[in-house]
Structure 1
């Protein structure tokens, strides 16, 4: 294969030098898996003016270190926010050029909880929001604080509101990172661990990996792109309209993304059909005009302008120019290229009527341009009957893809049992698919169905990704353990951690199982390994504390359990173990203090009965 690629390179070089029929070749060389990404600084060497302009765009500023130069908080009043449901407050502050977030709780005049974490990255260009991430040993998590720049207010991040504040535990995996940033160097066998993370969506996200292009230009092989297509790099403007559209909708069409078999979120390259990598589903309701933040593609496809003309995103947008630098008439002129006559006397700012700003259903405190071009009114129709999850980028998704979409939507967005019924309907139309059937039975809480399926179906591990197979194995382990099938459960827990050795959740479940089986030494090894990888999980400290307690190492048990509480002040399990620790040392008054703490958090807890007996 390598010889074939070399021969192909040589042929193209000959064409380039002779100005021959270069455009007869239709395969982009940078689609080959061996071609590497070189980084945006390499692009700047030859394209400085375009680079400098692009870096002022929202995409160019989408992700960066959380320093004063790149944070919208620099010019803010650093607002404090309060989560009234969890009774936790959050205050950002600067220490020199580093940003920190303080989580605290006050009772009377006393600070009863204080946790300070450094903010490593800001995510979001600042045109709408800045959210905040922290990193530890390569693991990246979101923090519970977002600054909404349009309103100049701070609040919990999208998805953290209404009692869903996950505080510092939300993992930032490849699905998130691959749209908000250039492709990172992701650690194989993890969900959210990275060797390195670039700063901002770069040139190669729209043009593809640049290694071949750079090498050929440095070697003096120049193509007259006014006459021919340079197949060493993708120029989206030279792509067919549907593939142009796919470049943009890779990220400007967000919903329930279902990967094609064997694909990852970093496999898409400009010039490829997006359907080769993923289907993206959105829930559709009759007469609904609501939309989410990144629904530009979905809304544009509903426009008469799109349906009746050869229109793509770049018909109106120059991705190298920030919209903040464009003249007031820029978009009006774009409209007038097709619409010479407007019935309204006011012909300035066409978008104010035909693409009005509106709120989105998924992100609060923002106003975004509705990309459904048309005649709008202020009367919003009531959302009608649910029509189903629709694959926006694929008119003919497979039944397996549809089943995966309903399961993922149930698990990630809305736990409506009807989605499970729909998933099963489509699953029945496919051959037995191990990972998806396991997901269905697990979410359905049908232990018997899952056990029967696993016991009666062989697993061809070559058909599935390590990620999906490890999740299935871990869930199978849970169900078998719950049904006292311990030896089989242990086998599946082991399989999960072998395939994805850097996923902390799988290690916690494996360690807890081993502990319940009284395999203290094995459990201790698993939890100690997890602690070394990522010490921010309260469950790790809790279980190591319990193991230390069983070993009668009371001092170490106390340290672990109190660290678990430092990470989560409302962690009842940690207080329960501290009660046990105090009782084992005959410290009855201390036990009473912990029992009262439990009752503050959970008034219906059995701690009340225990207190009465002490």
Structure 2
């Protein structure tokens, strides 16, 4: 019995031990599941890397870290974005002369009215009289004032760039970067999340529209851009009750304590620009957290043909990686070896830079008479080994130092041509990854990058072909990647393969039914396939998912108008104007609907007037404005509108024909004859002008 009892007791002990083991094992599994929300580096878990931790703003940080805060807000990064007001002026006022853009025939000037600032666009006729004018208020500045300052206005949570920029080193006003080289988009260039993620602190994206931001924004690159969101840290310091699930957990990131790659990635989030990008998974541009490996957030690509003579402003990390000294350091040569992130001053001293170089290159190791120049321990290393642009030869007015450290760097002549010009004659290059996570979605991201490169930086269709190749290849490996199918649909759409695009987008929707953009592009395809009912259905679904997205409303309204659903088209387009007041085509379409479908020129008039203020070159804008004035018997304004239509589009005879009709109505036969004759000189086969001319009475 005793033996039996002993055996039973032993078995019971085994069961108890097993139970304890299972409980402990489950605890480990649960802890591991919890731990997956956070970044672990070495033996430290960073709790503020979880995506649900809130940002508090730089002012909150300054409440405790007073000295660092006061230094940092005077640095270039701390002043990266600000409000435009009379207290921070560095520009020239009044502007000496207007800046003329010959490509679009517009003049621009910055004007000050008391404590408010505006940018004014205008156009002159042959007699130097103003025939077009548009004015927008300057509300925000991006740029610390070291290189340049760009200006923005905000409308309904969307931020738009203005055409003029102040170039500090040249001490002058000129067109904003890209406006002269590529395309003057005037007042419609919006600031994307990618741009804001580096030129400002964290911003809250709208959940109901694209490229819009909620609420009041914090201005300037903040402490949290490098240390991560601060809410947990603040609560901990205030002795509030917070959950610390691990003994080795901390509530804030100190980049100095990160392992080398994660430490570099804090800087590379903004200083590894590349030329094409692809976010991993469902990441947004605001989802990177300091402490993360950058490759888990995005892939960054550059052309394979590395150029010594041209380098991008925000690509210093990539250029540094080309240096022998960086390679020899095995990634321990981090940015803060030379840069103090709290004191990003305008100019580092020669002594400071030299001391940093001599940490690895002591004076006794420097070459003597055998080199081009005899070295001494008091020399300035930078001019010979890190090429600087200087003030006379900059890219977009930004003085920059090439971080590709090399012997005889000063021998290389800087040539920005390849970066300034988009041409069909530019040689085709391949994209290589500067940083990329080698996983099953790698080919898909490369295809996305080729698409973005084609869309943003090139007009060469070979890049669209490469996008198709890598997306197709990647989707054979990762068949259920919704983003991959969505981008495949976009690529096929722009290749005009509409039926194939439909299939790809339907697959994207099947995998991710809440993706509004897939429905939108599906609708675009059905428009091209002339199936307006299906187009309307898909635009509706896109709008249901993102109800405040004006582009969806605009496209839905225009398509309803094409499908002769006039009342709903008008309602939809007027709703679009409550979301976005900057699109001239919406005003123009509403003008046409009221003038033609509703036969209500009085209602049409303000829409046409607004359309031509926003864009005087909108096709037939002034022509239809003139027609509307004519219907309202306002002949003087009709004549002015027709003359502007012909002035802005000299090769179009239609405005001249209608102008001649006004002259006939007013009994001005000679003016009518001259006008029809002018129309026939432009278009000799225009029968309506010839008939009207022949029907005129003799003088």
Q: Is 2:390 aligned against 1:368?
A: no
Q: After the TM superposition, which residues 410-449 of structure 1 pair with which residues of structure 2 at under 5 Å, given as runs?
A: 410-431=454-475, 433-449=484-500
Q: Structure 1 163/174 Cα, relative in aligned 2: closer, same or farther at 3 Å?
A: closer
What does residue 305 of structure 1 align with?
325
Question: What is the match of residue 296 of structure 1?
Answer: 316
What's the offset of the Cα at 1:391?
Answer: 1.8
CA contact (8 A) 2:508 2:518 kept: no
Q: Which secondary structure does the structure 2 equivalent of 1:69 belong to?
A: helix
Partners of 2:509 and 2:518 within 8 A in 1: no
Deviation of residue 605 (structure 1)? 2.7
Task: For residue 620 of structure 2, give the secondary structure of its aligned residue in structure 1.
Answer: helix
Corresponding residue for residue 10 of structure 2: none
Quote how far apart the aligned CAs of 1:229 are.
8.1
* C-alpha separation in 2, matches of 1:79 and 1:502: 41
RMSD across aligned positions (CA): 3.1
1:394 to 436, 452, 461: 436
Verify the 8 A CA contact 1:129 1:148 in the aligned structure 2: yes
Whether the 8 Å CA contact 2:591–2:603 is kept in 1: the answer is yes
Aligned equivalents of 1:400, 1:437: Cα separation in 2: 9
Verify: 1:49 aligned to 2:96, yes or no. no
Alignment of 1:603 with 2:620, yes or no, is: no
Q: Distance in 2 between matches of 1:508 and 1:220?
A: 48
Structure 1 residue 562 corresponds to structure 2 residue 591? no
User: Which structure exhibits the higher relative contact order, with contacts defined as CA atoms closer than 8 Å and separated by 6 or more residues?
Assistant: 1
Kindly state the Cα deviation for residue 63 of structure 1 after the two structures are TM-superposed.
Answer: 0.3
Compared with structure 1, are the counterparts of its residues 98 and 475 closer, same or farther at alpha carbon in structure 2 (3 Å cutoff)? same
Q: Shift of the alpha carbon at 1:206?
A: 0.2
Aligned to 1:29: 47
**2:93·2:112 contact (CA, 8 Å) conserved in 1?**
no
Match of 1:378 among 374, 394, 411: 411
Aligned partner of 2:382 among 351, 354, 357: 351
Structure 1 residue 547: Cα displacement: 1.9
134, 148, 165: which is aligned to 1:129?
148
Aligned length in residues: 589
Correspondences of 1:512-591 after superposition (within 5 Å): 512-549=558-595, 550-582=597-629, 584=631
Distance in 2, matches of 1:53 and 1:172, equals 28
Q: 1:232: which partner in 2?
A: 251
SS at match of 2:218: coil
1:143 paired residue among 162, 179, 201: 162
2-structure distance, mates of 1:381, 1:340: 30
Aligned partner of 1:197 among 205, 209, 217: 217
Q: CA shift at 1:296, angstroms? A: 0.5
C-alpha separation between the residues in 1 aligned to 2:613 and 2:252? 51
The aligned counterpart of 1:217 is 237
Would you say the 8 A contact 2:489–2:503 is kept in 1? no
The alpha-carbon deviation at position 407 of structure 1 amounts to 0.5
- Find the counterpart in structure 2 of residue 279 from structure 1: 299
Cα deviations by residue, 1:488-511 (Å, 9 ceiling, x for unpaired): 111111122222333322222111
Q: Which runs of 5+ in 2 are unaligned?
A: 1-26, 242-246, 368-373, 419-425, 655-678, 680-685, 693-699
* Alpha-carbon shift at residue 67 of structure 1 (Å): 1.4
Determine if the alignment matches structure 1 residue 153 to structure 2 residue 172. yes
Inter-CA distance 425–325: structure 2 relative to 1 (3 Å threshold):
closer
Contact persistence 2:44–2:249 (CA under 8 A):
no
C-alpha distance in 2, partners of 1:230/1:237? 17
Shift of 1:449: 3.3
User: Corresponding residue for 1:18?
Assistant: none
Stretches of structure 1 that go unaligned for 5 or more consecutive residues are 13-21, 222-227
Cα deviation for residue 425 of structure 1 reads: 1.3
Distance 1:130-1:156 versus aligned 2 partners, 3 A rule: same
> Does 419-428 or 497-506 show the bigger shift?
497-506
Residue matched to 2:83 = 65
The separation in 1 between residues aligned to 2:238 and 2:97, in whole angstroms, is 50
Q: CA deviation at 1:516?
A: 0.8
Contact 1:582 1:588 in 2 (8 A): yes
Q: Deviations over 1:388-415 (max 9, x none)?
A: 1122122747100000000011111112
Distance 2:390 2:501 in 1: 42
Classify the secondary structure of the residue corresponding to 1:356.
coil
Structure 2 partner of 1:328? 350
- Give the superposition deviation at 1:250: 0.5
- Map of 1:161-172 to 2, 5 A cutoff? 161-162=180-181, 164-172=183-191
Cα distance in 1 between the residues matched to 2:616 and 2:143: 30
Q: How has the CA–CA distance of structure 1 residues 496 and 24 changed in structure 2, closer, same or farther, with 3 Å as cutoff?
A: closer
| Contact kept in structure 2, 1:79 and 1:153, CA below 8 Å | no
Determine the C-alpha separation between the residues in 1 that align with 2:194 and 2:315: 16
Matches within 5 A, 1:498-513: 498-513=544-559
Matched, 1:263 2:286: no
SS in 1 for 2:111: strand
- How many Å apart are 1:524 and its aligned residue? 1.0
Runs of 4+ aligned residues of structure 1 deviating over 6 Å after TM superposition are 359-362, 381-385, 586-590
**Is 1:115–2:134 an aligned residue pair?**
yes
Name whichever of 528-537 and 600-609 sits farther off. Answer: 600-609
Kindly indicate whether the alpha-carbon contact (under 8 Å) linking 1:139 and 1:192 is maintained by their aligned counterparts in 2: yes
How far apart in 1 are the matches of 2:398 and 2:212? 30
Q: Is the 8 A contact 1:86 1:163 kept in 2?
A: no
- Report the 3-state secondary structure (helix = DSSP H, G, I; strand = E; otherwise coil) of the residue aligned with 1:197: coil
TM-aligned CA distance change 1:612 to 1:152, over 3 Å:
farther
Of residues 578-587 and 427-436 in structure 1, the stretch that sits farther from structure 2 once superposed is 578-587
* Structure 2 CA distance for partners of 1:189 and 1:71, relative to 1, 3 Å: farther
Q: 196-205 or 472-481, which moves further after superposition? A: 472-481
CA drift of 1:193 comes to: 2.2
**1:332: how far off?**
1.1
The TM-score, its normalising length taken from structure 1, stands at 0.88
Q: 1:572 to 1:119 in 2, by over 3 A?
A: same
Q: Distance in 2 between matches of 1:219 and 1:395?
A: 39
C-alpha distance in structure 2 between counterparts of 1:177 and 1:194, whole Å? 10
TM-score by length of 2: 0.78
1:145–1:155 contact (8 Å) kept in structure 2: yes
Per the alignment, in what secondary structure is the counterpart of residue 358 of structure 1? coil
- In 2 relative to 1, CA 611–186 (structure 1 residues): closer, same or farther, beyond 3 Å? farther
**1:96-135, CA deviations, whole angstroms, 9 ceiling, x for partnerless residues?**
2222111112222421111111111000111111001001
Find the residue that maps to 1:501 and give its secondary structure.
coil
Report the CA distance between 1:304 and its aligned residue: 1.0
Contact 2:608 2:621 in 1 (8 A): yes
Report the CA distance shift for 1:73/1:286 in structure 2 as closer, same or farther (over 3 A): closer
Judging changes above 3 Å, is the alpha-carbon distance between structure 1 residues 340 and 523 closer, same or farther for their aligned structure 2 residues? same
Query: 1:470 maps to which residue?
Result: 516
CA contact (8 A) 2:299 2:437 kept: no
